[in-house]
A and B are shown apart, each in its own frame.
Chain A
């Protein structure tokens, strides 16, 4: 009797209880599958302790004029450069040169909190914006700045791209002055 009714309902293309159950069960299964896959995908994102390494403090007293150090920040090198007067002058003079990624030297010194930086300290992420190599200082650079040995990107004393395949200027590392002689990156 019940079967006959179901058969009749099917023949008339009516929605049956069974259709509803199929769709409901399928939807729940899909949500369940997604909820199961989610943690397995998300586990590959940076772990809490990796994220905790997100700031680095640098003492500036040890860096003489004309020197630069590479600090590690989030596993990546950061240039902390104590610029000479000549480098600062050259960087400011080129503010109006023909730049691929136009930016003034002053804009590149701005701290993470929006306050102006100091021209003698330039804090840059040390990875070439092309494919991530670490550029060398002066050696090979026609602009007195950094030169990437991998594919020949040439940066000036403000870390702006002047020649070569890199699409952007060297990224400025987010930093703030904690005091006159120390900064925090990140």
Chain B
């Protein structure tokens, strides 16, 4: 429901009266940020919008300055960023503000989004408000990815290579899209040039969508921690000074954290490899995105198996896009009519697990996917024959199709001659050599290891030790199920999607909401103005 009906703005001077008749911009500002009624029970989780607005301004202002000194050329990009850091007056400060600013932007947006999830701010009548927010987030991800390429370090180059390769996984059009985006066969000058152009453009698109986001917010009115609609004027306080000062205080704390990073650990959130200039001939030992994209990277890599006709690579790509795409339809997935999880005792527990899952996914994204989390024992048994008399005979078959028969026949013939063990080495489609050993002592050895690589090394070690004199190796490998980072990512990815696709839709229909306290359900405060919420 709308409470702010008529504008309460009254121009005080002759000039503002003149202006108000022609361009009522002061009236708009007054109605939006001064008189705008805001629920009196908003808590500090509602202050992140202000921080995000600040972040966008900081990124645009510092970015415009950086663009005055940055050179989008493969030979000069890396050096120009170093020059900004060292030679440009206050370049170090502005460059650090921009780089750290990206991380702070994402930190704030994640808290802002979790706030929306917890208090049901995406439900009617705020669906479009939420979708516009999701759109802003998607644009932020794209902008951050493009911007990360610009310093042209190793991680910039290889991150861009991996992500554009991912697009190549799309069926039919994938390869054309990949070449179209890169402007060539590989990440090179055309790519850097266009990424710079688009990185400059997108923040202004974001600013435009932010304007729509705020418009939609002011039309539907703010949600509040109880999720109960504001019912009358007494439930609200004017935006200024109440919300303004509260936002200012919270933003000050945020700026202090921002400053701590800028001045004391500007590179703590980046990757050391990005201080190595891009080299298309050498891949860094591991390629990881910035911390704020790690959960999606974990989802991408969780798919190491094919799903029917969809191969693992494409499945990962689809899941990664779906994990953001699903947020757009959330208003229609959550069937509960209760907004705030304060009054949804079961949903709240699933929500807390969801937050933990997102953090764990982030951790997984930064780990080597093959890393074994639960120690397992890999073992192999090797059999061979020591001594004895080796006999050899050629094997030939009519064609490749008859090879198995010929092999069986050769083995049988050797066994008839008294060979204890036989082996066949194929040299071509229809020829090979069968060897057998008569007599000799059968030797057995078992090796154990903690990983596949270690096991193979052990087997190779034994092979070398025993040498060529005993070629009758039979290696029986026992590879147990191993719980790796990938396994963990798979479980976490499953929860991520289950939360939206199964838990929220079903829980909303079955859950009994908690009772709304009388202090909320019934107005206890009279008509008079109380202090800040």
Contact = CB atoms under 8 A, between A and B. Distances in A.
Given A133-B287, A134-B283, A142-B456, A75 B188 contact: yes
B283 A76 contact: no
Contacts of B180: 44-45
A165 B314 CA distance: 13
B184 A74 contact: yes
Interface of B: 158, 161-162, 165-166, 179-181, 183-188, 190, 194, 280-283, 285-287, 301, 304, 311-313, 369-370, 425-429, 453, 456, 460
Contacts of B283: 133-135, 148-150
B190 A47 contact: yes
Nearest to B369: A151
A70 B190 CA distance: 22
DSSP class of A's interface residues: helix, strand, loop or mixed?
loop
Contacts of B158: 133
B357 to A, nearest CB: 23
A50 interface: yes
B452 to A, nearest CB: 8
Contact of A96 (B286, B311, B369, B426): B426
A114 interface: no
Contacts of B194: 44
20 contacts: A46-B179, A46-B184, A50-B183, A50-B190, A75-B185, A92-B427, A93-B425, A95-B428, A131-B162, A131-B287, A132-B161, A133-B161, A133-B283, A134-B280, A142-B453, A142-B456, A148-B283, A150-B285, A165-B304, A167-B313
Given A45-B180, A75-B185, A75-B188, 9 more contacts: A47-B184, A70-B281, A76-B280, A96-B426, A131-B166, A134-B280, A142-B453, A149-B286, A150-B162
Contacts of A50: 183-184, 188, 190
A15 to B, nearest CB: 38
A73 B354 CA distance: 46
A72 interface: yes
A130 B313 contact: yes
Interface string A136-157: 0000001000001111100000
Given A75-B188, A76-B186, A142-B453, A134 B281 contact: yes
B287 A75 contact: no
A174 interface: no
Interface string A47-81: 10010000000000000000000101011110000
B185 A74 contact: yes
Contacts of B370: 151-152
Interface string A9-38: 000000000000000000000000000000
Contact of A46 (B183, B428, B429): B183
A74 B186 contact: yes
A42 to B, nearest CB: 9
B184 A75 contact: yes
A146 to B, nearest CB: 12
Nearest to A45: B180
B292 to A, nearest CB: 20
Interface in A114-135: 126, 130-135
Nearest to B457: A142
A79 B301 CA distance: 27
A143 to B, nearest CB: 10
Given A77-B281, A131-B162, A44 B312 contact: no
B184 A149 contact: no
A156 B486 CA distance: 25
A93 to B, nearest CB: 7
A135 B283 CA distance: 8
